[in-house]
């Protein structure tokens, strides 16, 4: 029964939205620049009571090191009310918390937003008893991604 639940959870997470999932990441194309996508994401997160812990401009870091990197930003965010129950189900999931969203411009000029797929985290950490929380996290992340990337 547990395997069936896991398979159904993964399938539902993949079918809920037209987002692309690959190698444990969900990737969404953005209609905006990297900076604008990051700003829109931050606004959506704050509006829902999430805490934005850090915003890292990797391209600026590359410039400081004398290197060139296309626009690339990482937004680190979370909410202990959600993260703590996940850690109680599987303490090792803490290595993947708080949540992160990576926003970058690819070589063709397209902008993408990606985040860790909660279904992948469930498998990675053998998380038991948190399907409801993981489902809510999956839906919330998809909603944040849409708010940040849609026209």
Given a cut of 90, whether residue 45 has pLDDT beyond it is: yes
Domain CATH for 68: 3.30.310.70
pLDDT in tens, 90-103: 999 999 999 999 99
Helix and strand tally (H, E) in the chain? 6, 6
pLDDT at position 139: 97
The number of folded domains in the chain is 1
Are 27 and 21 contacting, i.e. CB atoms less than 8 angstroms apart? yes
Averaged pLDDT, 120-139:
96
Residue 34 in this model has a pLDDT that exceeds 60:
yes
The greatest distance separating any two alpha carbons of the chain, rounded to the nearest whole angstrom, comes to: 54
Half-sphere exposure of 122 (CA within 13 A, CB side): 22
Q: Is the pLDDT of residue 144 over 70?
A: yes
What is the average per-residue pLDDT within 23-49? Answer: 97
What stretch of H or E contains 73? strand 72-78
What's the distance, Cα to Cα, between the start and end of the chain in Å?
A: 41
Q: What is the C-alpha separation between 29 and 14, in angstroms, rounded?
A: 16
Q: Rounded distance, CA 56 to CA 75, Å? A: 6
Task: Name the residue range of residue 116's domain.
Answer: 2-149
pLDDT computed for residue 102 by the predictor: 98
- Show the tokens assigned to 142: 């998809």
Q: How much of the chain, in percent, has pLDDT values that exceed 90?
A: 85
> Ramachandran region of residue 61, left (φ > 0), alpha (ψ -120 to 50) or beta?
alpha
């Amino acid at each position: 029964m547990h395997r069936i639940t896991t398979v159904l959870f993964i399938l539902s997470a993949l079918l809920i939205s037209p987002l692309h999932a690959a190698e444990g990441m969900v990737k969404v194309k953005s209609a905006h620049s990297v900076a604008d996508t990051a700003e829109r994401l931050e606004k959506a997160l704050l509006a829902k009571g999430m805490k934005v812990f850090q915003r890292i401009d990797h391209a600026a870091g590359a410039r400081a090191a004398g290197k060139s990197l296309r626009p690339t930003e990482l937004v680190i965010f979370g909410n202990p009310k959600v993260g703590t129950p996940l850690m109680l189900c599987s303490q090792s999931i803490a290595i993947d918390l708080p949540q992160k969203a990576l926003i970058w411009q690819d070589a063709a000029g397209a902008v993408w937003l990606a985040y860790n797929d909660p279904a992948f985290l469930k498998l990675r950490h053998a998380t038991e008893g948190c399907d409801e929380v993981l489902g809510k996290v999956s839906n919330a992340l998809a909603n944040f991604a849409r708010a940040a990337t849609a026209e």
